[in-house]
């Protein structure tokens, strides 16, 4: 049997065995509806209250009422954007490298008549603070900037964004402008390695889900700071403070609370261990394979290539030029390696990565990008196996690839991404 090496932890993680254990009773004997006034309902209702309190404490929330349970990161992002904008109106700004859960809901709001702007990033994926500031208008209502980018691992300059929004609020107060301005962050990729404290971050809304932190799939939260009013996406039984109706996923809620606890317990040791393996993979790929461009923040230390403190610990994203990312992905899978490619945002359209294009890199880089994300089960032997297999696959594909343009990476890096006038970053290639 072919050895399997899973390196797509940014897509999803296995559910921790301890999380499964605490969930198990609520999939069998503890089955009551939390809205029921009888004993079966009261018992599971208490479990929800306990989990909500633990999560609030773990992320630094002031009140349990600030935690809204959802079906996952996508719903939480949608509730944040649509809930704020439909409630307060005004102008929306989102980052150009956001997850599609943010970008597509921003696009939906634009179709509803809202003004939407996209904040640019630099070549490493960091939000341009000056450009972001220039986009803020007197009627700007919401800014949505993700904490950690899911493709290239860039950690946003959260303190600078916090200060910018604080300064805007102070200026509005001085000007007599009573229009509120809120800040939302998608923190799904941050919880396992960066940690989350909403008070320190200064955010008004924050998205978190279970599937990225060894918790169950189909569960997430939206943190909504006390005093921030939003509209629900739909109406129903009124669960979750009338902001998210539907019978609660008790097993998922209990599992999510335990997953966040475990992530906090393991974070420090895992960051140290995973960072070392990540740097070994980064260095090996660049040494063994010609014409490779690293995407996201890195630095050179002698012959070693390492991530910076502003790159999440488990992320490696490279553009391996002159081949198609999808072809490489399939060959890797045949060799027992699971990774992902930025070439396809979804399997139907095969669009190139909007994130790589937003970094100012050309179409060829986007179609050649590969993401390897490490996790708790990743070993040194796994990395060595990838470095043993990957160069040969690349050599094979380059021999038959129509993309072999016979130009070096330096020349390629000087090319500018095609930017279609009037189109958001993730739709540049469609024009």
Q: Which residues are catalytic?
A: 345
> Residue 300: is it exposed, middle or buried by C-beta count within 10 angstroms (0-12/13-18/19+)?
exposed
Neighbours of 134 (CB within 10 A): 11
The three-point CA angle 103-414-367 to 5° equals: 45
Neighbours of 226 (CB within 10 A): 10
Do residues 130 and 154 touch, judged by C-beta distance below 8 A?
no
Nearest to 162 by CA among 145, 174, 149, 150: 145
For residue 195, the SS3 value is coil
3-state DSSP helix/strand/coil % of the chain, to nearest 5 = 40, 15, 40
Do residues 240 and 223 touch, judged by C-beta distance below 8 A?
no
Please tell me the total number of residues recorded for the chain in this structure.
431
From residue 37, give the alpha-carbon distance in Å to each of 3, 162, 390: 52, 43, 59
DSSP string, 347-365: TTT-PPPHHHHHTT--HHH
Supply the Cα-derived Rg of the chain in whole angstroms: 22
Nearest to 184 by CA among 202, 163, 157: 202
Beta bridge partners of 300: 305
Do residues 208 and 76 touch, judged by C-beta distance below 8 A?
yes
Q: How far, in Å, CA of 391 to CA of 379, rounded? A: 19
Neighbours of 60 (CB within 10 A): 14
Q: How far, in Å, CA of 123 to CA of 431, rounded? A: 23
Long-range residue pairs from 113-119, CB within 8 A, at least 24 positions apart, any chain: 114/85, 114/89, 114/90, 115/91, 116/91, 116/92, 117/91, 117/92, 117/93, 118/93, 118/94, 118/424, 118/425, 119/93, 119/94, 119/95, 119/143, 119/145
């Amino acid at each position: 049997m072919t050895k399997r090496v899973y390196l797509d932890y940014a897509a999803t993680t296995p559910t921790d065995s301890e999380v499964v254990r605490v969930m198990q009773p609520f999939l069998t004997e503890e089955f009551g509806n939390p809205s029921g006034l009888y004993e079966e309902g009261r018992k599971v209702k208490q479990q929800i209250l306990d989990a909500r309190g633990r999560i609030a404490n773990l992320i630094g929330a002031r009140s349990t009422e600030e935690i809204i349970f959802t079906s996952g990161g996508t719903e939480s992002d949608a509730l944040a954007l649509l809930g704020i904008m439909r409630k307060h109106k005004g102008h929306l700004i989102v980052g150009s490298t956001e997850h599609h859960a943010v970008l597509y809901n921003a696009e939906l709001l634009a179709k509803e008549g809202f003004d939407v702007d996209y904040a640019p990033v630099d070549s490493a994926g960091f939000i341009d603070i000056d450009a972001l500031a220039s986009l803020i208008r007197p009627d700007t209502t919401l800014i949505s900037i993700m904490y950690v980018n899911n493709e290239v691992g860039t950690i946003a300059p959260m303190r600078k964004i916090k200060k910018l929004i604080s300064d805007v609020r102070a200026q509005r107060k001085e000007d007599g402008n009573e229009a509120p301005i809120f800040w939302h962050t998608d923190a799904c990729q941050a919880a396992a390695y960066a940690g989350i404290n909403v008070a320190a971050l200064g955010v008004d809304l924050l998205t978190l889900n279970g599937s990225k932190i060894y918790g169950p799939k189909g569960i997430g939260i939206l943190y909504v700071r006390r005093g921030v009013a939003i509209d629900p996406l739909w109406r129903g039984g009124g669960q979750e403070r009338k902001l998210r109706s539907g019978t609660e996923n008790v097993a998922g809620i209990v599992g999510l609370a335990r997953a966040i606890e475990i992530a906090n317990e393991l974070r420090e040791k895992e960051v140290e261990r995973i960072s070392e393996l990540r740097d070994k993979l980064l260095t090996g790929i660049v040494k063994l394979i010609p014409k490779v461009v690293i995407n996201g923040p890195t630095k050179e230390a002698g012959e070693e290539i390492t991530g910076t403190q502003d790159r999440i610990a488990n992320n490696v994203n490279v553009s391996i030029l002159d081949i198609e990312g999808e072809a490489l992905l399939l060959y890797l899978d045949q060799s027992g390696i699971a990774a992902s490619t930025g070439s396809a945002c979804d399997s139907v359209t095969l669009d190139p990565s909007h994130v790589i294009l937003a970094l100012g890199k050309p179409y060829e880089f986007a179609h050649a990008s590969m993401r390897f994300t490490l996790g708790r089960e990743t070993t040194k032997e796994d990395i060595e196996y990838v470095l043993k297999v990957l160069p040969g696959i690349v050599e094979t594909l380059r021999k038959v690839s129509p993309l072999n343009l016979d130009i070096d990476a330096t020349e390629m890096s000087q090319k500018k991404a095609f930017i279609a006038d009037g189109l958001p970053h993730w739709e540049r290639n469609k024009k």
